[in-house]
């Protein structure tokens, strides 16, 4: 982000340091969040927010899927009781990749303990109970933890609202897990294609004004793409 007082006030800054840790400083920074259709390779919505924004809050704020059959996929920065309870309250189907620090069940399953599919009832930590009540969220939810094994032999654990083990067998979740790479590909292709076409972000952010920067970000991300056999895409 350009170094201006207006952008500092609007988005905030993050600290930075050199690899040798001998030079420290800070710079203007904004956090971008997108909802992306991994099957049709289409951007649904995007937002540019403050440097210290919470990713879960941005995810909750995205445009809600129109179809009751839509499935929301999240990477491992997103699982928390608050987020799961919010998605459950509004009856949204979800699958989230878990880290070992997310839930005790996920930690144990990542270590190879227990069954590959476990349906459990979760309750918020007592320190988070007031926040849950303030947002009128359920004080307990039932979810399913699913463990899949990658080709490397490593385990990944997913938490999901898809409780029916017959309709949604454990082995199907490996394909769902791999689908999340669609958003990573979108980010890589988006920035690469913008640079190749002369639409690099430094030019988009040349205006140094908050409103114009937000408009540039939304406009450039909405440029239509077509896929190639290589898996890359270029604007139409």
In a domain, 4, yes or no: no
In a domain, 41, yes or no: no
CA angle 135, 136, 137 (to 5 degrees): 90
Name the residue with higher pLDDT: 222 or 153: 153
In a domain, 200, yes or no: no
Of 119, 101, 104, 108, give the one whose Cα is nearest residue 170: 119
Secondary structure of 154-216 in the HEC alphabet? CEEEEEECCCCCCCCCHHHHHHHHHHCHHHHHHHHHHHHHHHHCCCCHHHHHHHCCHHHHHHH
Residue 84 belongs to domain spanning? 76-179
In a domain, 95, yes or no: yes
Residue 234: pLDDT band (50, 70, 90) is very low
163 contacts: CB under 8 Å, gap ≥ 6? 119, 142, 143, 144
In a domain, 195, yes or no: no
Nearest-angstrom CA–CA distance, 232 and 133:
45
Look up the pTM and report it: 0.76
In a domain, 50, yes or no: no
212-217: which pairs have CB atoms within 8 A and are 24 or more residues apart? 213/1, 213/7, 213/30, 213/48, 214/48, 217/32, 217/46, 217/48
154 contacts: CB under 8 Å, gap ≥ 6? none
42-85 pLDDT, tens per residue?
Answer: 888 888 889 898 888 888 888 665 677 889 999 888 999 999 99
Domain count, the chain: 1
Name the residue with higher pLDDT: 100 or 77: 100
Nearest-angstrom CA–CA distance, 83 and 94:
10
In a domain, 184, yes or no: no
User: In this prediction, what percent of the chain has a pLDDT beyond 70?
Assistant: 73
Give the mean model confidence (pLDDT) for residues 129-152: 96
Decide: 71 and 48 in contact? Cβ < 8 Å. Answer: no
Mark residue 229 as left, alpha or beta (left: phi above 0; alpha: psi -120 to 50; beta: remaining): alpha
In a domain, 71, yes or no: no
Mean model confidence pLDDT for the chain: 80
List, in sequence order, every beta strand (DSSP E) within 39-195: 42-50, 71-74, 93-98, 117-122, 141-149, 155-160
């Amino acid at each position: 982000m350009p170094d201006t007082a207006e952008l500092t006030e609007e988005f905030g800054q993050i600290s930075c340091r050199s690899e040798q840790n001998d030079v420290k400083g800070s710079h203007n920074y904004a956090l971008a969040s997108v909802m992306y259709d991994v099957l049709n390779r289409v951007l649904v919505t995007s937002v540019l927010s403050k440097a210290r924004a919470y990713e879960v809050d941005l995810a909750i704020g995205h445009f809600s899927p129109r179809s009751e059959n839509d499935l929301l996929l999240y990477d491992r920065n997103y699982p928390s009781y608050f987020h799961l309870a919010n998605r459950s309250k509004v009856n949204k189907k979800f699958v989230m990749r878990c880290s070992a620090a997310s839930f005790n069940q996920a930690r144990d399953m990542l270590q190879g303990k227990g069954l590959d599919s476990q349906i459990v009832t979760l309750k918020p930590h007592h320190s988070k109970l007031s926040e849950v009540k303030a947002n009128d969220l359920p004080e307990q939810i039932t979810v399913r933890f699913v463990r899949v094994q990658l080709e490397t032999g490593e385990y990944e654990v997913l938490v999901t609202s898809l409780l029916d083990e017959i309709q949604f067998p454990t082995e199907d979740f490996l394909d769902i897990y791999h689908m999340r790479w669609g958003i990573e590909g979108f980010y890589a292709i988006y920035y690469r294609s913008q640079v190749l076409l002369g639409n690099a972000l430094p030019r988009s952010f040349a205006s140094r004004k908050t409103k114009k920067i937000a408009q540039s970000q939304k406009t450039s991300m909405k440029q239509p793409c077509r896929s190639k056999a290589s898996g890359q895409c270029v604007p139409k």
